Amino acid sequence: MRKTGQPSWAKRILKLLEQARAKDPDFARFGAYSHKYKLSPPASEETIREFEQQQGIRLPEEYRDFLMLVGNGGAGPYYGLYGVETLKKELCDSRGSRLYPVREEPVIYPKMSDEDWDRAADPQGRREGKEVHPYAGVLPIGSQGCTLMTGLVLTGDYRGQVVYYDEDYCGQPFFVREKGFLKWYERWLREVIAGYSDEEMGFGLYLDGNSGQLMELYEQTEDPEEKTEIIESCYKFVSLPGKQKTFFKKACAQETDVQVRMKLIKLLAHFHVPGMTKELEKLWEWGAYAEAVSIINYEGTWEVKEVWYERVFEILLRLRGEGFRDACHTIAIMKDYPNVHAGRLKDALAREDLDNNGRIALFHCIQKLKGKEEVLDYFLHYLSKEENPTLLIYAVWCTEGVDDRQLQELYVRLMDKYRTHENAVFDYKGSQMVLRGGGCMGASRPEGQLVSNLMRQFDYFGLDYRGGFKLLMDGGRWKAWKQQNGFQGA
């Protein structure tokens, strides 16, 4: 029988889920786009009982109740939670052979010693082709991407506790601090609603608590490991309040442990706390390049940038994320120096590990620099292969002013490709509207913005913006313009 009625805790979770969905409407948080903060309808008790009997297990009560009273999979940390049907597929292969020994007693535990982990993971045995099951007694309840998983311990002292693990055994499992599935799930909802970031560290890997609570924890401990854990947990905040900035800056000045002090300097630099330029050499010595570049970019005077920009060039290829973006901004600021030119960024352009934000920052930087012809070959290839219209917008903007026939032919091909896209057509209609004062609506959608940028490379075909857009959307006039300007084969 299905459990009837919803207890207060289930209603609270569903209410928090609504708030989380409202907080992240664009699904920007890691994994959110896969579940979109939606849960499948609850499972019946018969469905749960049948699954348990098939697997020979009894689900932990909190998780069992969640499936029956809240939702049968869907919204959850990372890529969400599995429902019962997905669990069945995860536990057995297509022939019905069991992949996870969920009936066995667990062998993992929190903060395992290296020796115990090696014994459980048995790397030598795996090399010899032996079957190894270090995650016995653990139910996989969700994916974190690639081979990283979220699991639930089924028996023993840690029954009902959530654990993160790697199916490739590349590191020890991590037991979350929350005692029970529901506290872990509610914490995820609270942190989404609070707007915490999971870019620096994945959800659940850091301490719970707001900035004030973490500051109080720091005041109460003298243990370097605990201090480090508190410091690293602060990276979940998008910004740090002034009170905490003052506190941690004072703590940094008084700290005698070198490793803890380095962590504090990096934290203060991350949140752009003033007065950190004197720490640049220390950060560089410690290899904390991203934090050093952050200080140079946000706090460094012109004199500081003059001294450090060549060293920023030297470590550019080591940087990722915000550190890389800060470096690009610093280099762009030094654009008037003779030895700062686009050719020096060829290796950075060739990087395949840059995310979209990093590549856009790099394009922004190059757009400011002289010598864009030095990287023309890269952009000829890039513009012919890239499919993301947003990235194409910045690439076209970046090559603006480069006089090259091949580049112009690529621009024309891109206009041919995107001029009839529904978003370009939408922005075209806006361009034909006459607003108060005689103006018109500018392009607002990616494909429309791309087409607008491309038209600008030809000075809107000798017309104004409205007239240029009208010519492009008229198939006959557009064909005639191409023929008149020698782009018949474009």
Write the DSSP string, 272-318: T-SS-GGGHHHHHHHT-HHHHHHHHHHT--HHHHHHHHHHHHHHGGG
Sheet arrangement for strand 138-145: 138-145, 148-153, 162-166, 174-175
| Whether the Cβ atoms of residue 102 and residue 57 lie closer than 8 Å to each other | yes
Distance CA 367, CA 161 (A): 51
Q: What's 173's DSSP letter?
A: -
For the record, the structure tokens of 319 come out as: 């940087």
Q: Is the pLDDT of residue 113 over 60?
A: yes
State the pLDDT at residue 93. 52
Digit-coded pLDDT (tens) for 458-471: 999 999 888 999 99
Q: Is the pLDDT of residue 440 over 70?
A: no
Query: Which H or E run contains 150?
Result: strand 148-153
pTM of the model: 0.63
State the pLDDT at residue 417. 95
Distance CA 261, CA 64 (A): 45
Most confident of 25-29, 130-134, 319-323, 380-384: 380-384
For the record, the structure tokens of 40 come out as: 């499948």
Does residue 369 come out as left (phi exceeding 0), alpha (psi in the -120 to 50 range) or beta? beta
Share of the chain above pLDDT 90, in %: 69
* pLDDT band of 473, cuts 50, 70, 90: very high
| Whether the Cβ atoms of residue 166 and residue 117 lie closer than 8 Å to each other | no
- Residues with Cβ within 8 Å of 382's Cβ and at least 6 positions away in sequence, in order, are 395
Distance CA 335, CA 355 (A): 24
- Residues with Cβ within 8 Å of 196's Cβ and at least 6 positions away in sequence, in order, are 236, 237, 238
Residue with tokens 């979770």: 13
State the pLDDT at residue 2. 47
State the average pLDDT for the chain.
Answer: 90
Digit-coded pLDDT (tens) for 220-275: 999 999 999 999 999 999 999 999 999 999 999 899 887 898 889 888 888 888 88
Q: Which residues of 169-191 are buried (b: 16+ CB within 10 A; e: fewer)?
A: beebbbbbbbebbbebbbbbbeb
Residue with tokens 């023993």: 156
> Environment class of residue 325 by beta-carbon count within 10 Å: exposed (0-12), middle (13-18) or buried (19+)?
buried
Share of the chain above pLDDT 70, in %: 95
Distance CA 240, CA 214 (A): 11
Distance CA 174, CA 162 (A): 9
**What SS3 class is residue 238?**
coil
Q: Which of 442, 422, 423 shows the shortest CA–CA distance to 432? A: 442
Q: Is the pLDDT of residue 94 over 80?
A: no
Distance CA 426, CA 449 (A): 11
Residue with tokens 């090696």: 118
Q: Report the helix count and the strand count for the chain, using DSSP H and E.
A: 25, 4
Q: What's 24's DSSP letter?
A: -
Residue with tokens 């050499």: 281
Distance CA 251, CA 51 (A): 53
State the pLDDT at residue 432. 84
Angle at 390 between CA 406 and CA 297, to 5 degrees: 100
Distance CA 430, CA 428 (A): 5
Strands 174-175 and 148-153: unpaired
For the record, the structure tokens of 17 come out as: 């889920």
Q: Is the pLDDT of residue 95 over 60?
A: no
Of the CA atoms within 13 Å of residue 266, those in its CB half-sphere come to 22
* pLDDT band of 1, cuts 50, 70, 90: very low
Residue 106's CB is within 10 A of a number of other CB atoms, namely 23
State the pLDDT at residue 366. 97
